[in-house]
């Protein structure tokens, strides 16, 4: 039974029993304490905590999840994985143990021909919490499971809570006996490799008042409304139902693994080291594909770093299998899209964008590997020069932390050079880094974000009616006032408040569009609104400051937005849609929106692209958009189903999730896009769009910034004035300016080079004179010299080396020169081989001088450089160097 069919059967079973099937939430967690969704129940936490009203009291889902704490174990064991899917059925104050346990037994044991999973009854076991006699009796007397196949376990195994005060309770786990070939008898308490957990039923029946650890907490009492939360791992179920030994051999993973083996000329099951790499590749490609599909972009922090690490570990393991610099991720991602597309249609729709992001990250990391290899070669040379046999832990950590060089690759390449790596030192530094990260995370942890106050407001007031598509001012009612996060009945002048209205013309920030600003007036107060947000669906919160009077809950009010600001933002939003279509036309379907910000008169647009966009393409897109808007196309908005909108070809922001009903915004026949924002009535109202710049904002993502309307006109007017000034100054026609300016710049650069040569020659002219005036200190020729101000650091270095080269090889010599290239002093020291044999080191001498200059520096024993912030101390610095030489030699 394929994975997609397992999910279909599970959801259909519970739908037939009155459950509302909820699509998987995005992997990007709403909970601010989480980067990604790590468990199937996470999207349902607000319902269990009473923060939001659930869409139904009975729910079922197949939720995408990602966990990465054990990422280093992926592939090394057959149990660890980063991406997985959790099937779950939930009851919020509806049914409880007496219903859910028989449900689970029925679905598991019902024959496949009747829509069940067909598990033999005599192979199933159950565990219950040690004091949960109720669950034991249901299993034994209602279901008929023999008492010797029901085992009691303690808090560590069979009790669940969220880790913070809130609901919790015992759980019952269902296990499948794989047979004696997998381990010893005795049930789950004896061997969890033989007895494999397939389903966990959590009974939320208590309110926990204090939670200190998994097994240490206080129970305040029973919940007034008991809940059910279950979790069935889809991948584990697939392994059992497909008759394979582990999750890497199920349909949605093995096809990726098999393709990776084919591409690298390897085979699975022959070499343990090869198997590890193939399993890592299969898991990480699937996880990376799903993360990118949900809008995560590779980066250096947060969830972006999680994705980057997964993709780079994949490339590294492909290299370990012999891929070299070949780019194989596109093919592997294609396999992942096809196998997971059975469950998630959007993967196939968004395939071009997914490929663009992953391909760009692969190309970037292959470049990183080349850079890291060069740094590695320097580290090897230094190690061998010291006649050592081991690369230090610090070097290995720097390669990993600074250059993204994987430790396994460092170990492999070091072995090829006949060297070892101080793994213990590397692991210690990695551990220290992790501990710092954990400490930082602990300091920032705030538990489950408390949005319950907003949930209560929404429940009391109902969904706030948004009028802003058609109205810019409206009569309404004050239904809620918050001060510092607490609900209050009234607030006075000068107070910063959050105001909830029964109906509002104010647009809450979202979809890239900035929030409206404006004013709310009642009979006794005036509130300046500076920001508008929607913390939970259906609720609009107006943030601002009371200018005068007293604002009270229940007051009749008049809300009015800043109309000019709204119009300017709407122009920017409509322009973003048109630019999106323009880039699609110019670059193809891979140019998908990956973010935007629509401000008054200005917007930025992020889109997926493999590399920089040529200036000619930017000009073409700009020309196309302006040509279209001149036609004054009508802008139309309407609601339809998501399926119908996609069938029309409506564009959607890459990675964004939409409900069943969506709003479509059309600009004539030119642009059609899913959007909840505000827009102009016709394209001619934009006036003009001017693209300013294009740049990278991450692997596979580019950003365009542009102006629209009067801001674009003002920009071009300033440009025109500037061009006029240049034509006057250079006595040239406008069309001649580029050539004339290029000629001037070329001549200027040539003159600067000649001047630099003259300056360098003048500096080096004194080399012979300086060598002739050397001071003898205990048999060592010492030269200290202050160069003229303006001498650059390179010339100071050349001078020091030139003077040093004028002494016989058997004559110890030290040369120290200093100067002020701009406003900060620089000092260079050079010591010949005979001088180094006397124990003199350039790095140490530079340190002495730099300290006197108020700075620091260092380098090798033969030549070193430093600097500081006190140019007036150069004379003292040179005297201290001579003193240090005398003390060392004396």
String of DSSP letters for 599-634: ETTEEEEEEE-SSPPPHHHHHHHHHHHHHHHTT-PB
62 within 8 A of 87, measured Cβ to Cβ: yes
* Nearest CA among 403, 398, 313 for reference residue 362: 313
In the chain, what is the greatest distance between 2 CA atoms, to the nearest angstrom?
A: 107
- Report the alpha-carbon distance of residue 591 to residue 585 in Å, rounded: 9
Per the structure block, which two tokens stand in for 553? 């809950």
Residue 597: how many CB atoms within 10 A of its CB? Answer: 17
Residue 876: how many CB atoms within 10 A of its CB? Answer: 13
Helix axes of 302-320 and 251-264: crossing angle, nearest 10 degrees: 50
Query: What pLDDT, in 10s, does the model give residues 629-642?
Result: 989 999 999 998 87
49 within 8 A of 227, measured Cβ to Cβ: no
Q: Please, is 777 exposed, middle or buried when counting C-beta atoms within 10 Å of its C-beta (0-12, 13-18, 19+)? A: middle
Q: What contacts 102, CB < 8 A, 6 or more positions away?
A: 138, 142, 143
Residue 272: how many CB atoms within 10 A of its CB? Answer: 8
Model pLDDT, residue 447: 37
- Report the alpha-carbon distance of residue 390 to residue 760 in Å, rounded: 43
Model pLDDT, residue 444: 39
Specify the DSSP element, H or E, that contains 189. none
Query: What pLDDT, in 10s, does the model give residues 431-447?
Result: 887 776 655 544 433 33
887 within 8 A of 782, measured Cβ to Cβ: no
Instruction: Give the chain's end-to-end CA distance (angstroms, integer).
Output: 86
Residues of the chain with pLDDT under 70: 32, 403-404, 436-452, 653-659, 699, 760, 763
- Report the alpha-carbon distance of residue 845 to residue 520 in Å, rounded: 70
pTM score of the predicted model: 0.67
Model pLDDT, residue 443: 44
* Nearest CA among 509, 512, 513, 505 for reference residue 464: 505
Q: Is 573 annotated as a binding residue?
A: yes
Model pLDDT, residue 276: 92
Model pLDDT, residue 644: 86
Query: What pLDDT, in 10s, does the model give residues 560-590?
Result: 999 999 999 999 999 999 999 999 999 887 7
CA angle 85/172/122 to nearest 5° reads 90
Q: Is 577 annotated as a binding residue?
A: yes
List phi, psi (to 5°) of 820.
-125, 90
- Report the alpha-carbon distance of residue 342 to residue 280 in Å, rounded: 22
- Report the alpha-carbon distance of residue 213 to residue 222 in Å, rounded: 20
Model pLDDT, residue 92: 93
Categorise residue 866: left if φ over 0, alpha if ψ from -120 to 50, beta otherwise.
beta
Q: What contacts 756, CB < 8 A, 6 or more positions away?
A: none
CA angle 509/515/517 to nearest 5° reads 155
Rounded to a whole number of angstroms, the CA Rg of the chain reads: 35
Q: Domains in the chain and their CATH numbers?
A: 3-249 (3.30.930.10), 251-444 (no CATH), 452-560 (2.40.30.130), 566-717 (3.30.980.10), 766-889 (3.10.310.40)
Q: Which residue has the tokens 């809570």?
A: 161
Helix (H, G, I), strand (E, B) or coil at 132: coil
Q: Is 580 annotated as a binding residue?
A: no
Specify the DSSP element, H or E, that contains 102. helix 97-109
Model pLDDT, residue 360: 86
């Amino acid at each position: 039974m394929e994975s997609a069919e397992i999910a279909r059967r599970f959801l259909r079973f519970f739908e037939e029993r009155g459950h509302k099937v909820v699509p998987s939430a995005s992997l990007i967690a709403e909970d601010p304490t989480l980067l990604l969704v790590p468990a199937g129940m996470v999207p349902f936490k607000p319902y269990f905590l009473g923060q939001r009203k659930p869409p139904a009291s009975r729910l079922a889902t197949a939720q995408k999840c990602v966990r990465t704490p054990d990422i280093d174990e992926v592939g090394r064991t057959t149990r660890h994985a980063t991406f997985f899917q959790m099937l779950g059925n939930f009851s919020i104050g509806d049914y409880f143990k007496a219903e859910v346990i028989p449900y689970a037994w029925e679905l598991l044991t019902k024959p496949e021909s009747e829509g069940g999973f067909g598990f033999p009854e005599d192979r199933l076991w159950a565990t219950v919490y040690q004091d949960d006699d109720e669950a034991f009796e249901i299993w034994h007397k209602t279901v008929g499971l023999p008492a010797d196949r029901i085992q009691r376990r303690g808090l560590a195994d069979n009790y669940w809570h969220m880790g913070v005060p809130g609901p919790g309770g015992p759980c019952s786990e269902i296990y499948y006996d794989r047979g004696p070939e997998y381990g010893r008898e005795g049930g789950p308490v004896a061997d969890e490799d033989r007895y494999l957990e397939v389903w966990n039923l959590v009974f939320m029946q208590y309110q926990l008042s204090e939670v200190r650890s998994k097994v240490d907490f206080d129970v305040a009492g029973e919940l007034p409304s008991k809940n059910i939360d279950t979790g069935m791992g889809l991948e584990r179920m697939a392994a059992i139902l497909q008759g394979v030994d582990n999750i890497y051999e199920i349909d949605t993973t093995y096809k990726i693994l098999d393709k990776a083996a084919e591409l690298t000329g390897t085979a699975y099951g022959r070499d343990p080291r090869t198997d590890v790499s193939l399993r890592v590749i299969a898991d990480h490609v699937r996880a990376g594909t799903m993360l990118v599909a949900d809008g995560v972009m590779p980066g250096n922090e947060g969830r972006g770093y999680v994705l980057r690490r997964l993709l780079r570990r994949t490339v590294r393991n492909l290299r370990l299998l012999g891929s070299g610099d070949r780019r194989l991720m596109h093919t592997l991602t294609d396999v992942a899209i096809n196998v997971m597309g059975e469950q998630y249609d959007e993967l196939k729709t968004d395939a071009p964008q997914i490929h663009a992001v992953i391909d760009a990250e692969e190309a970037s990391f292959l470049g990183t590997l080349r850079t890291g290899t060069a740094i590695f070669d320097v580290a090897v040379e230094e190690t061998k020069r010291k006649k050592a046999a081991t690369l230090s832990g610090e070097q290995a950590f720097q390669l990993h932390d600074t250059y993204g060089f994987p430790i396994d690759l460092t170990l492999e390449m070091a072995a090829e050079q006949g060297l070892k790596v101080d793994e213990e030192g590397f692991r210690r530094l990695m551990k220290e880094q992790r501990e710092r990260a954990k400490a930082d995370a602990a300091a920032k942890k705030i538990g489950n974000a408390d949005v319950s106050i907003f949930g209560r407001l929404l429940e009391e007031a109902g969904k706030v009616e948004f009028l802003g598509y058609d109205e810019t001012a409206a009569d309404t009612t004050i239904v809620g006032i918050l001060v510092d996060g607490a609900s209050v009945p009234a607030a006075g002048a000068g107070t910063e408040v959050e105001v909830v209205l029964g109906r509002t013309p104010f647009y809450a920030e979202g979809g890239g569009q900035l929030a409206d600003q404006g004013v709310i007036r009642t009979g006794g107060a005036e509130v300046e609104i500076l920001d508008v947000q929607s913390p939970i669906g259906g609720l609009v919160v107006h943030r601002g400051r009371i200018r005068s009077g007293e604002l009270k809950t229940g007051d009749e009010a008049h809300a009015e937005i800043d109309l000019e600001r709204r119009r300017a933002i709407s122009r920017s939003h409509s322009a973003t849609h048109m630019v999106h279509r323009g880039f699609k036309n110019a670059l193809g379907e891979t140019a998908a929106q990956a973010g935007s910000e629509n401000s008054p008169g200005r917007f930025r647009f992020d889109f997926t692209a493999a590399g920089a966009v040529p200036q000619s393409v930017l000009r073409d897109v700009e020309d196309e958009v302006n040509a279209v808007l001149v036609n004054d196309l009508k802008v139309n908005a309407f609601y339809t189903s998501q399926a119908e909108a996609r069938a029309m070809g409506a564009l959607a922001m890459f990675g964004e999730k939409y409900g069943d009903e969506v709003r479509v915004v059309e600009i004539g026949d030119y642009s059609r896009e899913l959007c909840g924002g505000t827009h102009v009535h016709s394209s001619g109202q934009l006036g003009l769009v001017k693209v300013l710049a294009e740049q990278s904002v991450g692997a596979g993502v580019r950003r365009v910034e542009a102006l629209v309307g009067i801001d674009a006109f003002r920009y071009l007017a300033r440009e025109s004035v500037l061009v006029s000034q240049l034509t006057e100054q250079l006595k040239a026609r406008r069309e001649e300016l580029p050539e004339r300016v290029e000629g001037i710049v070329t001549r200027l650069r040539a003159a600067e080079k000649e001047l630099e040569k003259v300056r360098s020659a003048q500096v080096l002219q004194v080399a012979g004179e300086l060598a002739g005036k050397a001071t003898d200190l205990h048999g060592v020729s010492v030269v200290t010299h202050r160069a003229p101000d303006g001498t650059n650091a390179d010339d100071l270095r050349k001078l020091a080396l030139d003077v040093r080269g004028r002494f016989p090889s058997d004559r110890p010599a030290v040369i120290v020169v200093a100067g002020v290239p701009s406003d900060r002093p620089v000092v260079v020291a050079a010591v010949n081989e005979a001088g180094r044999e006397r124990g003199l080191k350039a790095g140490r001498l530079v340190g002495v001088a730099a300290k006197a200059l108020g700075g620091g520096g260092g380098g090798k024993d033969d030549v070193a450089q430093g600097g500081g912030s006190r140019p007036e101390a150069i004379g003292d610095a040179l005297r201290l160097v001579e003193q240090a030489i005398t003390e060392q030699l004396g």
